[in-house]
């Protein structure tokens, strides 16, 4: 393609059954005609094939150069016609789904380009990206790993194709919340690739900061995000938010988790105003949910609940019930409903979310563990202590394994389980867990963070409940001055 407009023209040509610019009419034209005639294929599958063709052409140009790429277009078209559409032609009614097309392409790709491995790698890049859009992360990972393996054999570590494949694999790890794998991969990328690029998330440095945030390394995340913003302010001036909105909003997320709510809200609202995302933009929706969750953490439930309900309704319609961002909003709303004693509403969302999560996500996925912990909290509120205990143990063990013993979510499970133990008059267990949670939260979040103060006051309440007034007074005296004066 000589320009981006030609690529867009070809996509339109494809959908309309017109001859294509990029390849010989004989094969490429037949593909488009076949898709239009095949009644078993839905329109979405045709769109996927367009994405495959366009994506492979672009990837091929980047992998082997424009001069050779045009000569390979016929081979790619032949593969899509015989290796993909030929398989779809034999599909039973109702079988020809988008996933079916991708699976057919993946299966028939084996051995097709043994003499031209870079073509195979470019096709696998496109398959990996498309699988990820369908939230099929395990299949996406397989494609990116194979593409990376091919590129490693032919290119050096700093080659654009290598960095592109690693970037694709990183975002799959992010979807799977395999944050330690993501951290290792992005750290290596930062050593050989650019620190910051034109991507709105801030390139390698922004992605690593994003992963630090998920790992509960809030200070490291804050430092990297601010470093990015310092650089882009010099380059872009005060218009930097328009170019790097994700960096600003992700920094706001960090501030919210550090309990710096005013700073976080200011950044969210400033970005919404300057970036002017459409109300139904998936990015506006996910950051709006973050803002609502921050309201919940502040006890502003009358603002948090309606905002999450509205966001969730839109995400269900635009992204689907099983999308990770939809599930995130469901989790936030479950917590609001539980605090408001709307237990039936919370239970309904939990049933749906756990069924969806266990079906679509890998075993031990942190998103599933969040819902398990939330269900345990609900059972505690309902005084179903036996049911709550098993769920808390599942959440705590899973979080320790997936996230580590000092992660904020692990410490949350310890605190919540301690509350249950106190209600069961298991005071020794409750004391041990409260003290572990308090020690971890003081170290990770600081003495004045709301979560730290929660565990601190819970420990004081425990000593009062088990008739240890001296220890209760000792810990009350240690409270940060501002908190102590409000007691």
In a domain, 337, yes or no: yes
Answer yes or no: do 14 and 139 share one domain.
Answer: yes
pLDDT per residue as tens, the chain (487 positions): 343 344 344 444 543 445 544 444 444 444 444 444 443 444 445 445 555 555 555 555 555 455 455 555 556 656 665 566 555 555 554 555 667 777 877 888 888 888 889 888 988 988 898 888 888 899 999 999 999 999 999 998 889 999 999 999 999 999 999 999 999 999 999 988 777 776 767 889 999 999 999 999 999 999 999 999 999 888 888 788 888 999 999 999 999 999 999 999 999 999 999 998 998 999 999 999 999 999 999 999 999 999 999 999 999 999 889 889 999 999 999 999 999 999 999 999 999 999 999 999 999 999 999 999 999 999 999 999 999 999 999 999 999 999 999 999 999 999 999 999 999 999 999 999 999 999 999 999 999 999 999 999 999 999 999 999 999 999 999 999 765 545 5
Last residue of a domain, one of 120, 141, 176: 176
Count Cβ atoms below 10 Å from residue 23 Cβ, excluding itself: 22
How far is 312 from 328, CA to CA, in rounded Å?
Answer: 9
In a domain, 150, yes or no: yes
Last residue of a domain, one of 176, 197, 221: 176
What SS3 class is residue 294? helix
In a domain, 452, yes or no: no
What's the total number of domains in the chain? Answer: 2
Q: Which domain holds residue 141?
A: 1-176
Contacts of 462 (CB under 8 A, 6+ apart): 418, 422, 427, 430, 431, 434
- Burial (CB < 10 A; 0-12, 13-18, 19+), residue 422, is buried
In a domain, 265, yes or no: no
Answer yes or no: do 171 and 298 share one domain.
Answer: no
In a domain, 58, yes or no: yes
Q: Which two tokens stand for residue 253?
A: 């997320």
Q: Global pTM?
A: 0.84
CA-closest candidate to residue 367, choices 418, 425, 430, 323: 323
In a domain, 46, yes or no: yes
Last residue of a domain, one of 160, 176, 192: 176
Answer yes or no: do 172 and 281 share one domain.
Answer: no
In a domain, 459, yes or no: no
CA torsion through residues 80, 84, 89, 93, sign: negative
In a domain, 41, yes or no: yes
Q: Between helices 66-78 and 117-133, what is the axis angle to 10°?
A: 70
Q: What is the DSSP string of 194-254?
A: -SS-SSTT-HHHHHHHHHHHHTT-HHHHHHHHHHHHHHHHHHHGGGHHHH-HHHHHHHHHH
Q: Which two tokens stand for residue 49?
A: 């094939």
CA-closest candidate to residue 269, choices 217, 221, 307: 307
Q: What is the DSSP string of 381-432?
A: HTT-HHHHHHHHHHHHHHHHHHH-TTSHHHHHHHHHHHHHHHHTT-HHHHHH
């Amino acid at each position: 393609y000589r320009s981006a407009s030609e690529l867009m023209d070809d996509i339109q040509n494809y959908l309309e059954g017109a001859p294509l610019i990029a390849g010989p009419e004989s094969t490429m034209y037949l593909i488009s005609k076949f898709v239009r005639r095949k009644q078993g294929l839905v329109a979405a599958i045709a769109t996927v094939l367009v994405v495959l063709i366009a994506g492979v052409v672009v990837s091929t140009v980047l992998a082997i150069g424009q001069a050779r790429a045009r000569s390979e277009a016929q081979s790619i078209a032949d593969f899509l016609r015989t290796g993909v559409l030929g398989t779809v032609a034999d599909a039973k009614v109702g079988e020809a789904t988008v996933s079916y097309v991708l699976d057919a392409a993946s299966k028939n790709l084996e051995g097709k380009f043994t003499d031209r491995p870079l073509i195979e790698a470019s096709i696998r890049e496109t398959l990996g990206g498309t699988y990820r859009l369908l939230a099929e992360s395990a299949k996406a990972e397989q494609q990116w790993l194979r593409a990376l393996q091919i590129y490693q054999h032919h290119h050096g570590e700093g080659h654009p194709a290598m960095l592109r494949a690693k970037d694709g694999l990183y975002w799959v790890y992010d979807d799977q919340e395999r944050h330690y794998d993501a951290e290792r991969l992005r750290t290596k990328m930062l050593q050989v690739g650019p620190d910051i690029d034109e991507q709105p998330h801030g390139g390698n440095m922004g992605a690593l900061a994003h992963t630090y945030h998920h790992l509960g390394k809030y200070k490291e995340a804050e430092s990297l995000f601010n470093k990015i913003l310092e650089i882009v302010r010099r380059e872009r001036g005060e218009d930097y938010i328009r170019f790097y909105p994700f960096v600003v909003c992700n920094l706001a997320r960090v501030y919210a988790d550090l309990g710096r709510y005013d700073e976080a809200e200011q950044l969210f609202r400033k970005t919404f105003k300057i970036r002017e995302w459409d109300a139904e933009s998936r990015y506006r929706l996910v950051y709006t949910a973050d803002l609502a969750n921050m309201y919940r953490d502040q006890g502003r439930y009358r603002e948090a609940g309606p905002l999450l309900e509205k966001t969730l309704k839109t995400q269900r319609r635009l992204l689907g019930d099983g999308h990770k961002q939809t599930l995130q909003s469901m989790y936030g709303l479950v917590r609001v409903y539980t605090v408001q004693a709307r237990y039936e509403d919370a239970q309904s969302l939990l049933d749906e979310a756990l069924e969806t999560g266990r079906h679509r996500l890998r075993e031990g996925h942190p998103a599933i563990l969040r819902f398990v912990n939330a269900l345990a909290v609900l059972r505690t509120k309902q005084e179903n202590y036996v049911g709550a205990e098993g769920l808390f143990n599942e959440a705590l063990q899973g979080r320790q394994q997936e996230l580590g013993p000092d992660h904020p979510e692990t410490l949350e499970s310890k605190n919540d389980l301690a509350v249950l133990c106190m209600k069961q008059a298991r005071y020794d267990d409750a004391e041990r867990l409260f003290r572990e949670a308090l020690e971890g939260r003081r170290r990770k979040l600081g003495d004045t963070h709301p979560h730290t103060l929660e565990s601190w006051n819970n420990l004081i309440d425990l000593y009062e409940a088990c008739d240890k007034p001296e220890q209760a007074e000792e810990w009350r005296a240690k409270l940060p001055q501002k908190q102590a004066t409000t007691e």
